[in-house]
Structures are given as structure tokens and as C-alpha cells.
Structure 1
Amino acid sequence: MKLTSAGTVPVYTIAGPSTARPLPDWLLRRRKRSAKYDPENLNNFELLQEFEFEEASNCVRVSEDGNWIMSSGTYKPQFHVHSTQELSLSFSRHTKSENTTFILLSSDYTKSLHLQNDRSLEFHTPMGCHYETRLPRFGRDLAYIRQNTEVLIPAVGLSSDGSGYGEVFRLDLERGQYLRPWQVDVGTDDDSAGLQGSINVGSVNVATVAEYTHGLCAFGTSIGTVEFFDPRSKNRVAVLGGQEGEVTALDYSSDGLSLALGTSTGRVRQFDLRNPRPIFDKEHGMGLPIKNIIHLKTPTEERKLLAADKRIIKIWDEDSGDLWTSIEPTIDLNHVAHCPDSGMLLTANEGKQQHIFFIPNLGLAPKWCPFVDNMVHEMENETPAETYDNYKFLTVPEIKSLGLSHLVGKTNLLRPYMHGYFVAAKLYDDVRLIANPYMWEEERAKRVKEKIEKERASRIRGVKKVKVNQKLVNTVLKRQEKREQVDLEAGMLGDERFAKIFEDDDMVIDEASYEFRAINPSTIPGHEDTTAKSTIRYQADSSDSESDADDSKPSDGIVMQVSSSKVQGGKIRDTALGSRVKDLKHVPRKERTSEVVGEKQVTFVPESKKKAKQQEEPAPRHDRRKEGRRSASTNTFRKL
């Protein structure tokens, strides 16, 4: 058992071939033996024992009491009867020729009528073939009128009396004789020869009876018409024409007021008997003849229409006309049957195994296999995301708070599951908005709060990795951290004009170059932080230096450095230019080096040594009271 179609209407495949080509018997038996103890196959089960034929199956039907399933197939020509109470094959019986179709005359399997492809009719009972009769021409379908115990057999070709009409043979089972056939217009055939006619002769393809209502018989023809006969008057009462192609499938609704038909071009239409215009017109999509049509009802009394060709089964909603679900087996189909009052479908197909599909939305499992419902619930538990993709689970109190209690059990929008319900996502959004009109404002306030919290968290020093000049980025971020405004996209870090500084290899800052050392003389190459810095500050008045120094704040960018200061005892002490020159006197002339680039001019003025000693000023006194005090100004030129 596996989930074939996972959507709003899931479909489960209980039995049926998984490949288009059947495996040889010897290979199939070998695989069964090897997979007998496989852990993946331990949970597999066979719903109906030997629900298969040696080559293919032609038709399958379920008895009225639901206790028996009869299906016909080949090769050799045979039919099988399965007991649903035992979930096994009751018996099989071979026939002389292949079975075209069959009907059950009783509420169980004990009386059945089989139409063979050699123009013969066989009546079967539990003991065997009870009676056999032969038709004048090949039959196409079977229908049964219970009130009159008459069997209707639509046939191929024109009647023998030269009237140019096709015939529907009537067999009275109470009298045991054929009655006068009904004549149906199937077109003329000038080249007909004998009773059968030519290759392109017309035919009556299909028949159906409104058994539990008004009892009208409808016959679909090869010229695209549907003729209605009243069994009480034995005459034609109406004709419905204008269909494209041949009419290949017919079915009355349960109330008998509407008739659905399928054509050989793959079109499905539904008519109200009181209106000649179709109220439902759909294209099946494959362009293949429709095999059969079935009217269905869900547990919530929703009307569905099933149509099947040899490639696909489609189920539409009669009221809206929308496609409800579809089933596409791997092999060609010949016939589809529905188990009454359930969601189970049985198929006859061209493969060895017959298909069994289960649609939970269409109804519960039949009474003879209630354990299928439990298995479906277990599979839904294992794969909730696949099965309930467009649903939201709500408990009973939540259903009451949203005001959806009146929809429980009346619509498929609320699907019961465990201690709550699965509600359609679209319905949940609409109802929640009606219950709380301010829901979107609350959601907006929540998102604003989350954004504010995110900004607060971003105040912590961030880390931004760049291709080049990572040291410069770290310096800028450190200054932002001091201002408690860390933003990785602010200032030069987020400006496109400075993007090349952090991306282009040619823009790498070389700390060993002369230009960099001239601007930053106190920077040691390879070290991120310097011990002390002094910057240029342009001031209008020297008295304002103290206030400027206190109010100044670091800015994002590169700061020009023109001089450095010495550090004593961990504190900065400004040094005048004269003291630096004094220190240079102790350096031998030969060891002095000049880093000046460009032209240089030196002028010598002769002086006497005595005069130089008299003009020499004494060294400044060192005041220990000012030791450890920092200068109020960072401008070194004030002390020159």
C-alpha cells in the first residue's frame, strides 16, 4: 500500500502492477522468495488473494450486497469470483471464448449473464453454465430491466428487414424467448452485405437504464446520438444528438434527472433530461474513447463524476466543474468499478494484476476491509507534510474560538484527525482575520520590535573582513565602538567611493614607505596600535586650545601625524624641538643620516667661541611638581 497522489485529495494504491511490462513467472517467483524476509516488505499485505489473471482482465463488477466481486479476463478465457468475507478467490471458471462484458442478474454472484465475442450469451450459476444462446449479430453491451426481467443487447450492423436501422435485441428471461427488437437510427450503409454489413457500418455501442427511478432506457450510437425508449410503451420517446464522435459510455445519476455520456474523442458531457444543452462539458485530455462513466457521492453529499479512458481516471466536481483528483496507472485500463458507499475503486486492465485504489475523501473503506482506514491514518501520521500540505491542525477549543464549529462534519475543509481537525490554510487565514481585525497591526508591531532588538545587538563591535587594508577597517570599527554606534555599513566602510580601498591590491597601504612614515612617524610597521600620537590642530587663538582639546572627538578617517612624543612612566610628555637638537649633538657626524628627499641648502656663519659661550643660555630647571601632569594642549609648536 502506497500513497500515489499526495495532494488535497490523496489516492492510495492498495494493489496493482508498478511497471508497465509484466515480469516472467519464474523471475517473479524468485523475487518473491528473495523479498520474503526483507524488512521493507514485512508490512506489505494482499487485500484480495489472487486478484489477477494470467494475461489481462476485461471487466470487473461488485455485487449489490457487496460480498462478491466478479471479474473476467484471459488467457485462457475465464472469470473469477472473489469472496470479500474471506478476502480470497472463491472459484474460477473457463469459457469457450473471450468475454466482452457481463452483468449480475441477482444481488450476489449466483446468476450472471456473459456476452462472448463469438456472438453467444451464457447464463452461469454456481454449478456451471446453465444455458447458452446465440445472437444474430455481434453484441456491444448488456443492460437489464428488473421490472420486466428483460435483457437488452445493443448490436452492430443494420436490421435484416431493409429499414436501415440498427437493433437492440431484447431477451425476456421470464418467457425464455426473444422479443421484437427496438430499432435505433445508426445511419445508412449502401455497401452493406448480408446481416453484418460492411466495415464502416453503424452500431449501437452502449446502453443504460434508470433502474430505480423513471426506468427510461438510453442507447448511444456510432453517429453521436442518444435515443431514449420507454419500456412501458416500447417506443422511442426522445433523441439527443449533436455529439462529436461516437457515444461510448452512458450513466444515469441516482435521481434519474441527469445523464452523463462519453464520446470516442475523449469528451465528457452531462445533460439535464429537461434541457438539450449540456450543464457539464469537459475534455478528458488524452483524445481516447471514454470506457465508462460513474456518478459518485462523498460522505458530505457532494456530487462527483468519474470518467475513465484506457490511460487515466479523472474525477470532477459536478457543481463547480473543477477537477477533483486523477489516477494514472502504469498500464492501460479496460473497465472501472466502484464499491458502493465507499472510497474504493477496482479496475480491469491489460496487466496481470488488477488495480485497487482507495480515496479517503470519497468515503470510508468497505465494511469487509475496515482495517484499511487504520492503515491510512498511520500513513498520514508518518507523512503529514506530504498528505496535509495545505492544511493547518487545530484543536477543538481553537475551532470553537474561531467560530468554525458549525462546519464540523458538513464540509471537507475540516478533516477530523486525532483530537482536532485539519483546516484548509486559506480558510484559516480568512477566519483568523475576521476574528481579530487588528491582527496585521499586531504583526507589524512585532516585526518592528524584532528589528529594534536586532539593532541593539549590532552595537557590539562587529567584524568585517575585507580583501586589503584590514588594519584600517579595525581602526574605524574601534572608534565606532567608543561612540557605541557600531555599523558595518556606515562612513567610509559603506561608501561606494571608497570601495577600491578595501578591494584593489594596488591600494594597499605600505607602512614601510616614506610617504606613510612622513604622515605617521610614530607608527611601527606590523603593529596595529601606536604608543602615542599627536595630531595637527589649527586654532585661531592659542587660548582656546584647552577647550578644543577637551571637546574634540575622534573622527572616522585617517589622522595626519607630524610629530611624536616620548613616554615616561606610562605617561606622555611633550618634547620641544630644541631638546631634540641637543640630543643630536652627541651623535657623531659620520653616523648621522638624512632622510630628506629633494634639494637641500646649508649656510655657515663664522662666530667666535667666546661669544658663543656668553650667548649660551642655561638649561631649564626641571620642576618635579609638574611631573606626571599632562599638557592642556597637544600642539607641540607652542613650546618652541
Structure 2
Amino acid sequence: MEVTDVNNVKIYNLSCGKTFPDWLPDRKKRQLLKKEPSLKRRIELIQDFEMPQLCNTINLSSNGEYIFACGVYKPTMRCYDLNNLSMKFERCFDSEIIKCKPLSDDYTKLVFMFCDRYVEFHSQSGRYYRLRIPKFGRDLDYHPPNCDLFFVGDTSDIIRLNLEKGQFLNPYQGSSTSFNCCKVNPFHHLLVCGSTDGQVEAWDPRIRERVGSLDCALSALTVDPQGIPAIRSIAFKDGVNLAVGTETGLVLLYDLRANKPYYTKDHMYGLPIKSVVFHQEWVISMDSKVVKIWDRETGKPFTSVQSQYDLNDLCLVPETGMFFLACENQKIQSFFIPSMGPAPKWCSFLDSIVEELEEDQDDAIYDDYKFVTTKDLEEIGLNHLIGTNLLRSYMHGFFIDHRLYNKAKATSNPFAYERYKKKKIAEAMEAASGDRVKLQPKLPKVNQELAKKLYDLELSGDGSRKAKQTVALLKDERFKSLFENEDFQIEQDD
């Protein structure tokens, strides 16, 4: 787990850290767990949550219990059971998957759109039916009341396939040359399609007619006059609030009752907005480089998430602070932001882990610093740094960087290493001669403690001038009375 702080918001990356290779045997994995502490501390939220090479799309079922991830190579779809935090099944295909859409609340009914114009319907037992649509598709969505499946792509027609009758119906005739995305509003079931001409067209499936359109290109040109921007993504918050992502990196927020956006957000990267999601009072927009989370009313940035790999798709777990990112990497990125909401019920243990990390964080703030007092600073000649940014006041002293402290200490006392070296040599020689019989010197009756201290200093071999003068007291006749006459006895408690 990696913790980052962007705009004073804690972001927990749950997919970072070391992993075991697939070919590694279980015995070797257990041995590595004992040796590597970083492997013990890692969090594997969902087991085998990855693709063979990279992930293109990621979806969440309506009941919030299954995740569907599609990627290459080979073209693969993997279904993950969130209650068991593991992969439920895997299915491989002949061509690359462009879009995946669950038709039921769980994993029992799925539809896949491929890059070669084929569409496959799957049940829980496997592939149920396969057909081909008239044009190459780019997006699809399902309208449950009429059982209509809509396809948009490299054509001005919006293709309709009725799943109850099992046949194609007359398509909707759009005014644009082609469409990139489509979305059915879950509140009033209005079909909204984004075109390559910068137009958003709305269709009512009840009367099978176009009921309105928005000219997003005109609003986007006032901000970035680089050509007509195509519409790449669409999202609904409720029945009236609509978010539109453009090819030039703009996010336009609309009220369907007005023909102009009430707010325009620029990602400043000039990259297509691949996904837009509403979450409470925030908008989550994603391009291939960054995920930005910002306030829906004011546009004030809340936080952002960057990845070292190009991003392809975004999947948010509703009413929580967790989301998944499909990217150009084997691992599917998992992020948790406690400020956005609690952890999902299937991984509620994350809340307690985050609380423990918050409590233990203060202990690791000064790992690279050393605590010193004012006296210590005077000894190494750094007392003139008091009041600067190089010293951080704390209680009765200061915190100083280890590197600066060691450098100053070596400069102020250049012979410290030589004394340390002699001390270590003496300790090693004493340890080597530890089994020998030691002759205890005969101590005088007067001032025994002083005499013992002088004997120990003589045995230590300290060659300093002060030490030689001190040891000379034992042999100098002028100080003989110090160890014989009781009048010279040193009173320790006086």
C-alpha cells in the first residue's frame, strides 16, 4: 500500500507493491514471505486482479458484487466475485473487446462488442448467441423497459436491436456523421449520444424521435479554439445534470433545460476525456494521464490521481471512496480515498487499516532527523542555525537532518574516528584475552577507588597527554603519601 497526499487529501494506492511471479512454487513464496518484510505488509485486495498484458474496460454489476475486466493479449474477460475477493471465471475470445455491458444485476447475462463488428451474448454457462452489426461500433447501452440494445459507431444511424423479438429495428437517423458514445438516463430513459461533430443528440425511445440537441462544440471553442472537438464521454447525475467530455480535454456541465454549460473544466493536458463520473458533490474526470476530482458547483480541485501508465477506463464503486482504473499494465489499479466515502462492505476492513496508519504516521515523521539540544549544537558549532529552517524546534531541543549533523560532527572533531578505531581495537584485544588469568593489582589502603581508576586507565592504553600525566601519579614519589597517609583520604560524600 502506498499513501500519497495531494491537496491535503490522503490517497491509498492498494495495487502497488511487490507481487509473486505465477511460475514461483508455493514453497518459495513462503520462504520469501519470511525474508521480505515488504511482502508481508502488502495488501492484495482482490486475488489475481490483473490481465494478461493490459486492461481496456472495467465494469461493475448493478448489485455491486461482481467486476468485469476486459483486456488483451489474448482477448480475455475476467469476472471477479467481490464477496470472495477472488476471480470467479475467465473467458477468452477471438478478437479484442471494445465494450462490455451486463444486462442483468449479476454475471448471468452479458453482452460484448468486438472490434470486428461482432456482438456476443453470454449467459452463466457461456456464449449464448453471436451476431454481426451493420457498422463498426464504438459504444453501446441497454434500455430495459423496451429491451432495446443501442449501438453507435462509424455511422450516422443509431442501431437498435430488440432482445425480446430477437431482431433489428429501424435505426434512429442522427444528424451527425458518426457517434463516439451513448448513454441511457436511468431516471427518464432518455438516450443521449455524443458525436464526432461536437453535438449531443437526445432521443426519446417512447416516441422514437429526436427531442433535442446540444451544440457542445460552440461552447468548447470559446475555451480552446483548436478545431471542432468531438464528444468522447457522457455521464448523468440525475434527470437534468449532464457531463460531457470532449476530445480536447474539456468537461462541460449542462442542465438539460439550458443550451449552454453552467461550468467548463479544462484538464490542461489537451488529451481526450475518456470517462466522467458524478460522485456526491464532486465530478471525477479522467484522461490518459490523470484522474481529477473537483467540485461540481465551483470547479475547485479536490484532489487528483496520476499513474505512470496510460489510463483506459474508470470504474467507481457507488457511495464509497473506492475506484478502479484500467490502464496499459497487467495490474488493475485500485485506489481508496477515505475523504470521499467509506470502504465498500465487501472490504470494510480497509477502514480499520486506514485508522491504524493514521495513528502510526506521527512516529515516522522524523525518521531522517536526529534530536539535539542547544549544548549539542554548541559542541559541533551549529548554534548559529537556531531560528533557521535547518532546525525544527521540538520540546527542549531541535530536530536536525542526520546528514548535516554527521558532517558537522566530523568537521568539529576530525580525530574522533582515530579514537574510535583505537577503542574498537582495544575492545577486540580484551575480548580475545578474556579467557586468560587476570592479575588483580594490590590496591593501597588509602584512596582505593582513585588507585583502581588509575590502574584501569593505564591498562586501557590511552595515549593522550592528559592520561599519561594522570597515570604518573602512581609512580611519582612526591605523591606517595596520597595513598599511604590517611589524612589525604578523599571524602566522596563531603
Scaled by the length of structure 1, what TM-score is found? 0.53
| Matched residue type, 1:52 | E
Which residue number in structure 1 is paired with residue 12 of structure 2? 12
SS at match of 1:330: coil
Relative to 1, partners in 2 of residues 1:6 and 1:36: Cα closer, same or farther, differing over 3 Å?
A: farther
How many matched pairs?
Answer: 354
Partner residue, 2:293? 315
Partner of 1:358: 336
Q: Deviation digits for residues 394-443 of structure 1, max 9, x if unmatched?
A: xxxxxxxxxxxxxxxxxxxxxxxxxxxxxxxxxxxxxxxxxxxxxxxxxx
* 1:525-584 Cα distance to aligned partner (Å, 9 max, x none): xxxxxxxxxxxxxxxxxxxxxxxxxxxxxxxxxxxxxxxxxxxxxxxxxxxxxxxxxxxx
- Check whether the contact 1:3–1:12 (CA below 8 A) recurs between aligned residues: yes
The alignment status of 1:156 with 2:151, answered yes or no, reads: no
Kindly indicate whether residue 175 of structure 2 is the aligned counterpart of residue 185 of structure 1: yes
SS at match of 1:334: strand
Asked whether the 8 Å contact 1:7–1:386 carries over to 2, the reply is no
1:223-372 to 2 correspondences below 5 Å: 223-243=197-217, 244=220, 245-253=229-237, 255-297=238-280, 303-372=281-350
Relative to structure 1, the CA distance from residue 28 to residue 235 in structure 2 (aligned partners, 3 Å threshold; closer, same or farther) is farther
C-alpha displacement of 1:24: 8.8
How much does 1:242 deviate?
4.0
Higher strand share: 2
Aligned partner of 1:208 in structure 2 is 183
Aligned to 2:402: none
Contact 2:274/2:287 (<8 A) preserved: yes
Deviations 1:175-216 (CA, angstroms, capped at 9, x unpaired): 111111111122xxxxxxxxxxxxxxx4210001111x2221
Give the RMSD, CA atoms, in angstroms.
Answer: 2.4
Contact 1:17 1:354 in 2 (8 A): no
2:196 pairs, out of 217, 222, 247, with 222
Query: For the structure 1 residues 30 and 100, does the alpha-carbon distance in structure 2 shift closer, same or farther, using more than 3 Å as the test?
Result: farther
Rounded Cα–Cα distance in structure 2 between residues aligned with 1:338 and 1:274: 27
Picking from 87, 96, 99, the partner of 1:98 is 96
What secondary structure sits across from 1:319 in the alignment? Answer: coil
Separation (CA, whole Å) in 2 of partners of 1:105 and 1:16 = 32
Distance 2:143 2:60 in 1: 18
- 1:545-560 to structure 2, matched below 5 A, reads none
Tell me if 1:375 matches 2:365.
no
- Map 1:21-36 → 2, pairs under 5 A: 35-36=32-33
What letter matches 1:4 in structure 2?
A: T
Q: Which residue of 2 aligns with 1:111?
A: 109
| TM-superposed deviation, 1:320 | 1.8
- The equivalent residue for 1:170 is 160
1:17–1:330: 8 Å Cα contact kept in structure 2? no
Aligned to 2:484: none
Deviations 1:262-316 (A, max 9, x none): 000000110111111111101012111111111101xxxxx11111011110011
Per the alignment, do residues 7 and 378 of structure 1 end up closer, same or farther by CA in structure 2, a change over 3 Å counting?
farther
For structure 1, the residue ranges without an aligned partner over 5 or more in a row are: 158-165, 187-201, 298-302, 388-640
Q: Does the 8 A contact of 1:6 with 1:386 survive in 2? A: no
Q: CA deviation at 1:62?
A: 1.0
Work out the percentage of aligned pairs sharing the same amino acid: 36
In structure 1, what residue type is equivalent to 2:63? D
8 Å CA contact 1:225, 1:240 repeated in 2: yes
CA distance in 1, matches of 2:275, 2:28: 35
Task: Specify the alignment match of 2:400 in structure 1.
Answer: none
SS at match of 2:83: coil
- Superposition pairs of residues 400-479 of structure 1, within 5 angstroms: none
Which whole-Å CA distance do the structure 2 matches of 1:310 and 1:239 have between them? 28
**Alpha-carbon contact 1:228-1:237 (below 8 Å) kept:** yes
1:10-66 per-residue CA deviation (whole Å, 9 max, x = no partner) reads 111011579xxx999779999967742212321212110111011001111111111
Whether contact under 8 Å (2:20, 2:29) holds in the other structure is no
Cα distance in structure 1, aligned partners of 2:128 and 2:205: 27
Aligned partner letter, 2:112 = H
Contact 1:337–1:345 at 8 Å: present in 2 too? yes
Residues 233 and 29 of structure 1: CA distance in aligned 2, closer, same or farther (over 3 Å) = same
Give 1:67 shift: 1.2
Distance 1:265 1:147 in 2: 35
Distance 2:48 2:247 in 1: 33
| Structure 1 residue 7 displacement after superposition | 4.2
1:325 CA drift (Å): 0.8
**1:172 Cα deviation from its structure 2 partner:** 0.5
Q: Distance in 1 between matches of 2:5 and 2:175?
A: 43
- Distance, in Å, in 2 between the alignment partners of 1:228 and 1:67 is 31
> Do the aligned partners of 1:208 and 1:219 also contact (CA within 8 Å) in 2?
yes
Contact 2:6 2:303 in 1 (8 A): no
Q: Secondary structure of the residue that 1:376 maps to in structure 2?
A: helix
1:452 — aligned with what?
A: none
CA contact (8 A) 2:141 2:184 kept: yes
| In structure 2, distance between residues paired with 1:228 and 1:385 | 56
1:86-139 deviation digits (Å, cap 9, x = unpaired): 111111011111100111111111101100111011001111000111011100
CA distance in 2, matches of 1:170, 1:126: 24
Match of 2:33, SS? coil
Aligned-partner Cα distance in 2 for 1:168–1:229 = 10
- Equivalent residue, structure 2, for 1:89: 87
Q: From the superposition, tell whether residues 376 and 137 of structure 1 become closer, same or farther in structure 2 (CA, over 3 Å).
A: same
Structure 1 338/147 Cα, relative in aligned 2: closer, same or farther at 3 Å? same
1:123–1:132 contact (8 Å) kept in structure 2: yes
Counterpart-to-counterpart distance in 2, 1:34 and 1:241: 62
Paired residues for 1:541-580 under 5 Å: none
8 Å CA contact 1:17–1:355 kept in 2: the answer is no
Letter in 1 for 2:33: K
Q: Does 1:2 align with 2:9?
A: no
**Letter matched to residue 356 of structure 1:** S
Q: Which amino acid aligns with 1:241?
A: D
Call closer, same or farther: CA 1:36–1:144 in 2, change over 3 Å: same
TM-score (norm 2): 0.68
Distance change >3 Å, CA 385–CA 236, structure 1 → 2: farther
CA contact (8 A) 1:259 1:273 kept: yes
The corresponding residue for 2:463 is none
Q: Deviations over 1:560-611 (max 9, x none)?
A: xxxxxxxxxxxxxxxxxxxxxxxxxxxxxxxxxxxxxxxxxxxxxxxxxxxx
**Matched residue SS, 2:352:** helix
Larger radius of gyration: 1
Q: Secondary structure at the match of 1:130?
A: strand
1:76 shift after superposition:
0.6
Q: Which consecutive residues of structure 2, in runs of 5 or more, have no partner in the other structure? A: 221-228, 366-494
For residues 275 and 17 of structure 1, the distance between their equivalents in structure 2, rounded to whole angstroms, comes to 48
Alpha carbons 2:249, 2:271 under 8 Å: kept: yes
**Structure 2 counterpart SS, 1:321:** coil
CA contact (8 A) 2:52 2:72 kept: yes
> Partners in 2 of 1:363 and 1:237 — Cα distance?
37
Distance (Å, rounded) in 1 between the aligned partners of 2:140 and 2:25: 37
Partners of 2:63 and 2:182 in 1: how far apart?
Answer: 23
**Structure 1 stretches of 4+ moved >3 Å:** 22-35, 384-387
The residue type equivalent to 1:234 in the other structure is: R
